[in-house]
Structure 1
Amino acid sequence: MDAVMHIRPQSIASPDSTDDAAQSPADQIVPTADGEPILAILDGVPVAQHPLLRGRLNVDDLFGLEPAALVAERVHGTAMASLIAHGDRNLAEPSLGRRIHFVPVMGAGDQFPEDRLVIDLVYQAVTAMRRDNDPTARLVLIVNISLGNARKPFQGRLSPWARLLDRLSHRYGILFCVSAGNHVQPFDLPPFLTMAEYEATVQPGRATQTLTALSALIGYRRLLSPSETINGITVGSANIDAVSPAERRGAAGRVDPFQPMVTANPSSALGPGFANSVKPDILMAGSREHLTMVASGAALAVRPTGGARPHGLRVAAPPRDGSNNWEHYTCGTSAASALASRTAHRIHDALEEAYGEQFVSLSEHQRSVILKALLVHTAAWPSDSADLIKSVLGPPDAKQHVRQKDNVRRFLGFGIVSAEDAIYCASDRATFWAAGTLGSETRRSITVPLPTCMSGQPLAHSVRATLAWLTPVLPGRQSYRSVKLSLLAPDELGGFRVLPAKAQPDANQASKGTVFSRRWDGDKAPALTATSSIEFVVQREPDRGADVDELVPFGLAVTVAMPGISEVYNQARARIAPAVPLRAR
């Protein structure tokens, strides 16, 4: 609890803006969902009988919020459930095969109840799922929280809500996917007087001026509680959607600030996190956000738009006109977090299908850290976006590369995730994973075989490694994170002819949280033999404060890739046991 020295107002949620309702096709077939949930949603009351959600949700109205929530106002929870179950409906993505556990924590008007503390709602909802006696969802490993307290931006001190998530994550082995928060307030674009002048500016000039305006507001656009959590994954929104070119032309009066660049949306909250850690951890699709005019004259003032047909993610919507099969469009970090949770679920499904009991028999903590590592593993900075941030925020001196990277990761974290690469195999790359536990001041070695087909090939190739863990926390100490793990780079990387990639957070910056991800690239021919391998070492550093007398779970993912060399996967698979089948897209 905070010291009793002041009173804060009750938490409030920032409602999503949605638009352009449309009816679903009358003849659409929605597959059924079976199996106990491994994913839970804490959100507003959903329309559980929507055709896209019927038979897919286990709704546990633990706090009696459903009766007061008008069906027509059940926007946010319905949209998040739709995104997690089916993805963006503008894409033909597979639906999740398991049911989803849903606990409403927002009631009327998609707002938190006035007579309950949000932290208490979250605590009761999570502990009810995993309590020893009569758990409501005993298999849940992933919890989606597409919520944030608009009255509590992160200013260096961890909020009670974030501290709760860290404690629950460590206690139960749960991966919390949390939205970074949205800042939809108007802001000025000083060089421009009118929207027509702004729209007429060709790229990269428009993107440069937009980023310049946003960079002046960094201090006011910080993460919203509880997204500063250190054990959870914080998700920002990237300007990505699947809107067709024909529908994109319908964005009259709204301007795309960054097209064709892929980067963080203007409204997406910015890092860093606690103790200068990388936050947001990742970015996922949150629609290609446009800007619309608020005022013009002495200066042009604009604000980010909500989801709409020309720039949004298509999701289930509350009924209207007596019909229940409506859809509309959403956007922002809430949607991005839901897609991150969905991706983590699909990673779990892929591992369960490939490894069966060998994976399922792992402890909840070990499976959750594997999902955490693999979710971040494919994240990467788009080169044009990173270069723009460096040019605008500087510093201009190339020797100040650490500060340059610091500015990039405020916007991009570890980067934008490729969900398909995180889930599916490819013939020219191989991803290895390992799970384990570490006692105080111990280390583990993980050997990764190198396919001989890469030998002598003067082609672009890479090694990527991501380490994730769950730390006990010390709320009364400044260090807070009581356990730090390190990933020691192997000496054999020099023989593999790769060097640390430039487009990634600085190694010191990336080691402040509970995820550490590095990439090494090269294009000179490696010299390999039939037994060549690289050895990564996961090491537990001396505990901060009092010694932690418990084993700490970790997950490690390593990928070796050489695009165009189709034998990489098969040769890597032949050197490990048990054999894993190739899963094509």
Structure 2
Amino acid sequence: MLARDPAGLGLRQDPTALAPERLLVFEVRGSIQDFARAIAKVPDLELVDEEELPSDEDKQPVAYLLVPDAKALTQILRLWTIWLETGELPTGFAPWRNVFDCLRDIRPWGPSDRVQDVDRDILNEQIAGRADDDLIFLEIELVFRANTAAGTATETELAAAVRARGGNVVSRARLDDIAYHALLVRLPVRAIRAILERAQSSIAGLDPVMHIRPQSVATALEVEDVQPISTVAQGGSDPSPDAILALLDGVPVAGHPLLRRHLIVEDHFGLEPGTLVNQRIHGTAMASLIIHGDRNRPEAMLPRRIHCIPVLGASDEFPQDRLIVDVIYQAVLQMRESAEPTARHVIIVNLSLGNRHRQFHGQMSPWARLLDRLAYRYGILFLVSAGNIGRDFEIPGYATSLELEAAAPQARSSMLIQAIANIQADRRLLAPAETVNGLTIGAKNADQVSAADRAFARTNIDPYPNLDTSNPSSALGPGYAGSVKPDLLMPGAREHLRVTSSGEGAPIRVAPGRPSRGAGLKVAAPPSAQGLEGAESFTNGTSAATSMASRTAHRIHDALEAGYGEAFLNLPPQNRAALIKALLVHPARWPDATASFVRRVLGPQGRGQAPKQKDNVRRFVGYGPVDPDEAVACAADRATFWATGQIGREQRLPILVPIPAAYGGQARLHSVSATLAWFTPVLAGRRSYRTVRMKILDPDEIAQLGVTAHGDQPDFNQTNRGTVYTRSWRGEKAAAVPDGMNMPLWIQREPDQGQQLDEAVTFGLAITIAMPGVNEIYEQVRDRLRDRQRAQTR
């Protein structure tokens, strides 16, 4: 939180405009919401940053106060001491009583804050059995100082401290846009032991240090069942070199028969020479899925090439000598803002990557902050994998694999959902999946494997035989400030389970099975033998699902280009990217059976528990699964149309929705749905991180159409926390539709959070009217829109 001189404490107005000397940690007792309400009642006090209450609820939430000097810190601690001793406060400080009453403790930021428990555990594993002089990589994030000279001075101080302990600085990065300043260093094991002991004399005791973390490590990709290529499409025109989609991933096998016509590889970081061909797994698989989709079912190839900048090198790992945040930043700048931009038309970026050392527990990672800033700055839709959690886990109620296999499908699914819910705190999103402006993709438990090939599944325990949900390894939401994450599910293979331990009276333990011919997405792979140009194999997980989402986003762009030509292509990048974002999420729906199943299994039951039940559903499926074909295809009994534009501060705009005559007078199932998407400016380190909020207002005429808000979809509270806002109405009563009816659907920009933003913000909007089985819907809406266009051009 940021104090603006409350009661003469001497706190300055904007900590980002000075070099903060101290950070206070507020350990909150109970609800962070109660604490926020207490803070709001203190004059000139604003909550800026807070940690979300961890889902395991065994830790207390934390809030932070930036103070400019030791004097302010001392005065606040003195007030706290008085409160603890007397339960009273001096005259003039009465509003602080409710604040202090919400706290367990106040303390200066120190070594225990700079080295989090989870990072400490990883580093302990890394140094186990190592000699004292062995060097280990660390990422050290500094307290960001807006004054460049002050930032340079603190960096120099830290670099000297590293050298004094026998280490060296490998790389550094300072990104003012996201208040990020960090060093990649190597330190001897003896110095790291002191850090892990949280000794004040160690690097962890230095004031300029904000966080100390293990070096970022890329999430792995599994591929299995390498085999010769089945078919390669011949002939046809070459794909256009004007790429709109970029793949930031591993070095691909650029000469692979399935890829050679479709890739533009820009080795900006010089990773290709050091990466053996047989190690080029991740980038090859992701490129294949984007270009061809799941090759278990032949699909048309994309009409444009994709622009690849490798950011993974040897063994599909991040470069050891660079901070991954800086690597991604430089890659995007190279495409869009260098002296000679190499991919100036890219508006979709696939990031099937994550840092397996960084799970999301309330605080935005620098990587996610970077994506949010770049998305708004350039109009780029980042598609990010939620992350895969491959650790084994316990399933209560079953002692052997035979018992689990023999269980009825519903009973097996029920126990598995409950088992994953029990450990949800350990299965959170992997950075940068908490991105607010990007779309986070989870893996749907589905693929295109034929019935005959399904018999080749190496493990025979199907966790969800009849349930449309995320696969067992897919990381769970929610996202920042309780936003919906993952945003949607895409096919990530029908993931089976393998048993890791059973018997001896203990519950069985299982882990996600490896991909295979019987349970996987079919992709291009490096050659398995000398003399072969390429091969195919099978993969699974959220990385694969994200590439499927990127392919679908590209297909949406292709459909809009085919339908509207230059009118669409001439839209600014921000408009096209926001529109594709809306249209990609728009078909996502909670499957009725899945929503009902999760409600019943996880509850909580009882009156007034619907919001918590919905939270449990969205944790697993986000806004819901998306069928890639449905996201692009037309149908006679539904009409989807779109709008894009800009909306100013605290404005609202009407979008006229033509209601077809066939919609009226029929007592049968029908629906209206709308999805609004935008890219928000962000404020690093502030509670009001997402500065711009928008929403869709429920139309007054909606009841006239015989529909009501869909009870098994996210409500307006759940959908109001990110940069996608959805509404869905459904009913079976006959609608009253007068001739030529237009329903005004209002979109509204809410009062900005934090600092006020005068500039307009771009939005994309998708609306669908559907009445299954009534094939006049599409044609009537199309004709109405054409008539409207003719009237406007006269």
Partner of 2:687: 478
1:454 to partner: Cα distance: 1.6
Counterpart Cα distance in 2 of 1:252 and 1:335: 20
> CA offsets, 1:60-119, max 9 Å, x none?
100000111110011111000000000000112111010000000000000001111000
Corresponding residue for residue 55 of structure 2: none
Aligned counterpart, 1:25: 230
Residue 393 of structure 2 corresponds to residue 187 of structure 1: yes
Verify the 8 A CA contact 1:406 1:506 in the aligned structure 2.
no
Kept in 1: contact 2:458–2:516 (CA 8 A): no
**Secondary structure class of the residue paired with 1:224:** coil
Q: Which of 232, 252, 258 is 1:52 aligned to?
A: 258
Distance change in 2, residues 1:2/1:218 (3 Å): farther
Compare 543-552 and 361-370 and name the one that shifted more: 543-552
User: How far apart are 1:400 and its partner, in Å?
Assistant: 0.8
- Partner secondary structure for residue 494 of structure 1: helix
Q: What is the distance in 2 between the residues matched to 1:136 and 1:97?
A: 19
* SS, match of residue 737 in structure 2: coil
Give the 3-state SS of the residue equivalent to 1:296 in structure 2: strand
Counterpart of 2:764 (choices 552, 555, 560) is 555
Aligned position for 2:792: none
1:381 alignment counterpart: 590
The amino acid across from 1:307 in the alignment is P
List gaps (5 residues or longer) in structure 1.
581-585
Looking at structure 2, the residues matched to 535 and 246 of structure 1 have their Cα atoms a distance apart, in angstroms, of 51
- 1:98 corresponds to: 304
SS in structure 2 of the partner of residue 140 of structure 1: coil
Contact 2:395 2:415 in 1 (8 A): yes
CA drift at 1:524: 1.0
Equivalent residue, structure 1, for 2:280: 74
Alpha-carbon distance, 1:316 to partner: 0.1
Q: Deviations over 1:136-174 (max 9, x none)?
A: 000000000000000000000000000000000000000
Alpha-carbon distance change, 454 to 560 in structure 1, aligned in 2, over 3 angstroms: same
Aligned to 2:536: 327
Equivalent residue for 1:573?
782
Tell me, yes or no, if the aligned pair for 2:715 and 2:727 is still in contact at 8 Å.
Answer: no
SS where residue 410 of structure 1 aligns? helix
Equivalent residue, structure 1, for 2:663: 454
Structure 1 residue 26, shift from structure 2 partner: 5.7
Show the counterpart of 1:39.
Answer: 245
Distance of 1:236 and 1:2 partners within structure 2: 32
Task: Decide which structure has the larger Cα Rg and report it.
Answer: 2
Tell me, in whole angstroms, the C-alpha distance in 2 between the residues paired with 1:245 and 1:398: 44
Amino acid across the alignment from 2:526: P
C-alpha separation in 2, matches of 1:283 and 1:26 = 28
Residue in structure 2 matched with residue 500 of structure 1 by the alignment: 709
| Stretch moving more, 159-168 or 533-542 | 533-542
Paired position in structure 2 for 1:146:
352
CA contact (8 A) 1:30 1:52 kept: no
Structure 2 CA distance for partners of 1:440 and 1:294, relative to 1, 3 Å: same
Amino acid at match of 1:306: R
Contact 2:217-2:318 within 8 A present in 1 as well: yes
- Contact 1:573–1:579 (CA<8 Å) still a contact in 2? no
Shift of 1:188: 1.1
Q: Residues of 1 paired with 2:366 and 2:142: CA distance?
A: 7
Q: In structure 2, give the amino acid aligned to 1:6.
A: H
Between the aligned partners of 1:398 and 1:80, the Cα distance in structure 2 is 46
Tell me by how many angstroms 1:125 deviates. 0.3
Q: Contact conserved, 2:232 with 2:257, CA < 8 A, in 1?
A: no
* 1:12 aligned to which of 206, 217, 232: 217
What code does the residue aligned with 2:367 have? W
Superposition pairs of residues 154-169 of structure 1, within 5 angstroms: 154-169=360-375
Q: How far 1:578 moved relative to its partner?
A: 7.9
If the length of structure 1 is used for normalisation, what is the TM-score? 0.97
The Cα of 1:48 is off from its aligned counterpart by 0.7
2:378 pairs with 1:172: yes
Aligned letter for 1:12? V
Q: Distance in 2 between matches of 1:26 and 1:446?
A: 47
What secondary structure sits across from 2:752 in the alignment? coil
Residue 465 (structure 2) pairs with residue 259 (structure 1): yes
Counterpart residue type for residue 58 of structure 1: I
Asked if the contact 1:45/1:69 (under 8 Å) is kept, the reply is: yes
* Paired amino acid for 1:83: L
Q: Of 508, 524, 532, which residue of structure 2 is paired with 1:300?
A: 508
Partners of 2:604 and 2:507 in 1: how far apart?
27
Q: CA deviation at 1:199?
A: 0.5
Partner of 1:238: 444
Matched with 2:737 is: 528
Change beyond 3 A, Cα 1:314–1:575: same
C-alpha RMSD over aligned residues:
1.4
Structure 1 residue 489: Cα displacement = 1.3
Moved over 4 A (4+): none
Task: Find the counterpart in structure 2 of residue 269 from structure 1.
Answer: 475
Question: Aligned to 1:463, which of 672, 686, 694?
Answer: 672
CA distance in 2, matches of 1:505, 1:561: 19
1:397 aligns with 2:606: yes
Residue pair 2:381, 2:439 contacting (<8 A) in 1 also: yes
Aligned in 2, Cα 1:245/1:20: closer, same or farther, shift over 3 Å? Answer: same
Please give the secondary structure, in 1, of the residue aligned with 2:639: strand
Task: Say if 2:226 and 2:528, in contact at 8 Å, map to a contact too.
Answer: no
Which of 524, 530, 536 lines up with 1:316 in the alignment?
524
Give the CA deviation at 1:250.
1.8
Q: Do the aligned partners of residues 30 and 339 (structure 1) sit closer, same or farther apart at CA in structure 2, a change above 3 Å counting?
A: farther
Give the C-alpha shift of residue 27 in structure 1.
Answer: 6.2
**Alpha-carbon distance change, 290 to 473 in structure 1, aligned in 2, over 3 angstroms:** same
Deviations 1:203-260 (A, max 9, x none): 1011011111111101010000000000000000010101111111122443111112
1:214 equivalent in structure 2: 420
Question: 1:205 is matched by which residue type in structure 2?
Answer: A
**1:26–1:96 distance in 2 versus 1, CA, 3 Å:** closer
Task: After superposing the two structures, state which structure 1 stretch, 283-292 or 250-259, moved more.
Answer: 250-259
Count matched residues. Answer: 580
Q: What residue identity is the alignment partner of 1:357?
A: E
Q: Is this contact kept in 2: 1:2–1:160, CA < 8 A?
A: no
Most deviating of 222-231 and 88-97: 88-97
Aligned partners of 2:696, 2:338: CA distance in 1, in Å?
Answer: 35
Residue 282 of structure 1 is matched in structure 2 by: 488
Deviation at 1:30, TM superposition (A): 6.8
Assess if the C-alpha contact under 8 Å between 1:37 and 1:140 holds in 2.
yes
Give the corresponding residue for 1:583: none
> Match of 2:436, SS?
coil
State which of 599, 610, 618 in structure 2 corresponds to 1:409. 618
Tell me the CA shift for residue 506 of structure 1.
2.2
Q: Is the Cα contact below 8 Å between 2:656 and 2:744 reproduced in 1?
A: yes
Normalized against structure 2, the TM-score is what?
Answer: 0.72
Is this contact kept in 2: 1:146–1:179, CA < 8 A?
Answer: yes
Name which of 547, 557, 570 aligns with 1:338.
Answer: 547
Q: Are residues 398 and 69 of structure 1, via their aligned partners in 2, closer, same or farther at CA, if it must alter by over 3 Å?
A: farther
- After superposition, what is the alpha-carbon deviation per residue over 1:384-415, rounded to whole angstroms, capped at 9, x for unaligned? 22122112211011531011001100011100
Change (3 A) 1:327 1:500: same
- TM-superposed CA distance for 1:325, in Å, is 3.2
Corresponding residue of 1:225 = 431
Amino acid at match of 2:558: D
Shift, 1:2, TM fit: 5.4
CA distance in 2, matches of 1:235, 1:30: 34
